[in-house]
Each structure stands twice: as structure tokens, then as C-alpha cells.
Amino acid sequence: MKYYNCLLALPIVCLLSGTISAQAPNFIGVKGGLSIPNLTSGSNNQNPLSNGFSSRTGPDFGIFGEHFFNNWFSLQFEVDYSAQGGKHNGLQAITDPFGSNPPYFYANFKNQARLNYLLLPILAKGTLPLAEKWEFFMDAGVFAGFLLSAKIVSSGMSPIYADPKGQEEVDSNAVNFDNTQNIKSSIHSFNLGFAGSVGFAYMCGHGKIFIEAGGNYGFINIQKYAADGTNYTGAATIHIGYQMAIICKKKKT
């Protein structure tokens, strides 16, 4: 717990130290929006259970602090909740329900991998004035990710097939696939990756209203066990938000 507390305190400490020592404005803010994640497979992944994911949608929101070094360059420290994962809809591989060969059978149902992370990005950010109150910005950096929850949520009914094209029925009786399975114990609790975004901000009083589009990608294979395949997290993101300026002048000596 001490390790987690130190990581969570880092953005606040960096923001406060920058605010006290600098005359340029710094910002604190909130943002929220949509995550469109997917699970990509490793180049050598031959496991049909972890191949062929498509994107799902989920929430993405957080708080952040931004420290300006000059009028155009800043560092941004964030604490974000990020929905990750992917989905299989339609005919897909399942583990052998009969305890015999072949090792995989197939069924037609809906299946979602719902992974939720706490992300701690540190981003280098460039800001370019466009008009009197408009700005364009671009940021990029790295994040540390901590797994909050991991579930497989499936639904639907289907016969069991022996082939991936669904032409060889093994059992014509429809099987109910409605189920929620906690898989947190089989997923690595830590991830490290890249994040970035581009967007536009509008100066409003002592703050800014902004909209941004970006994404993130994890460098670490999420599965603990080789039998589960190889997958990497990643998501496209869209946010709207507001940040408020904090200006502290140095005390005269």
C-alpha cells in the first residue's frame, strides 16, 4: 500500500513544487470521456482464445496537474481511470467442454473482456496559440498502469461446433453462455506503456475548456500464463475537460 500511495502522491507533489517555485501559471483540471479499447495479439500468438478481438467502449476520466516551464512547454501529471479490454461477438473458440481432443471447440455467442486500470501518465506537452483565446496542444509520454478489475462477461446460446466455420455440429442442443467470470488472478497487476493526445483549448476566465483525442498502448503482455495466449492493451480516447489556473508569486525577500 505504501508503494501505491507514493505513486498517487507523485503528481500532487510535482504540481505543488512547481506552483511554489514558478511565476508562470500552472493548472489543475478534470477530464472525462470515452475509451475505445482493444486487445492486440502478439506476433507469435497462435491461441484462438486470445486472437481476433474487436473494440468495445467504456468510460475514461481523471484529474491532472500541469506545470508550465515557459509559454509553450509544460509537463502534465495525471491520475486516470481507464476502461480497457476487447470483445468477441459471433463464432469463436471455447475451451474443450468435453475433456477430449481437439483442444478447442467453437460456439456463436457474445463475449467481452472488461479490464479496468488506474493509469498514472507523465506527459510532455507543447502548446501553440492560434487566436486571442484559442490554443492547439499536443502531448506524449509514458504511464504506469495498475489493474483494478478484470472480468469476462459472456451471453447468448449456441450449439457446439468442432470447426471454426461452424459447419460440424458436435452437439445440436444450444448451450447457455450467460456468465461473468473474474479473471483478475490470471492478469498481470502492473503495466507500462505510452500515451498521447492532440486537442484544442479555449481560454475562459482563469481557466481553459478543452477537447482532445488520443490513445494509449501497454508494452507488457497482460496474461500471466502462456496457455492464455499473448495480448496487449490499448485504447483510443476522446475527452472534454476543464482546467483552472493557479498563480503563486514569489515572496519578496
CATH assignment at residue 199: 2.40.160.20
| 97 within a domain of the structure (yes/no) | no
Residue 16 has pLDDT above 80, yes or no: no
Q: What is the pLDDT of residue 23?
A: 54
Predicted pLDDT at 65: 97
Name the domain count of the chain: 1
46: in domain: yes
Give the pLDDT mean for 104-121. 96
What local confidence, expressed as pLDDT, does residue 99 receive?
Answer: 65
Domain residue limits at 193: 2-83+109-152+188-246
Q: Is 117 left (phi over 0), alpha (psi -120 to 50) or beta?
A: beta
Beta strands at 207-218 and 190-204: parallel, antiparallel or unpaired: antiparallel
Q: What are phi and psi of 99, to 5 degrees?
A: 70, 30
Cα–Cα distance measured from residue 252 to residue 248, given in angstroms and rounded to the nearest whole number = 12
User: Residue 178 falls within a domain, yes or no?
Assistant: no
In a domain, 215, yes or no: yes
Residue 143 within any structural domain of the chain: yes
According to the model, what pLDDT value does residue 34 have? 98
In this structure, the dihedral spanned by the alpha carbons of residues 197, 203, 205 and 211, taken in order and rounded to 10 degrees, is -40
**N residues, the chain:** 253
Quote the pLDDT of residue 100. Answer: 61
Give percent of the chain with pLDDT exceeding 70: 85
pLDDT one-digit tens code per residue, 182-216: 999 999 999 999 999 999 999 998 899 999 999 99
pLDDT reported for residue 140: 98
The cell numbers describing 124, all together, are 510532455
Does the pLDDT of residue 9 top 90, yes or no?
no
Inside any domain, residue 100: no
| pLDDT at 86 > cutoff 60 | yes
Chain segment 117-130, per-residue pLDDT in tens: 999 999 999 999 99
Whether 10 shows a pLDDT value over 60: the answer reads: no
- The predicted model scores a pTM of 0.85
In this structure, is residue 98 part of a structural domain?
A: no
Let me know if residue 114 belongs to a domain: yes
Q: Any residues with CB less than 8 A from the CB of 43 and at least 6 apart, and which?
A: none
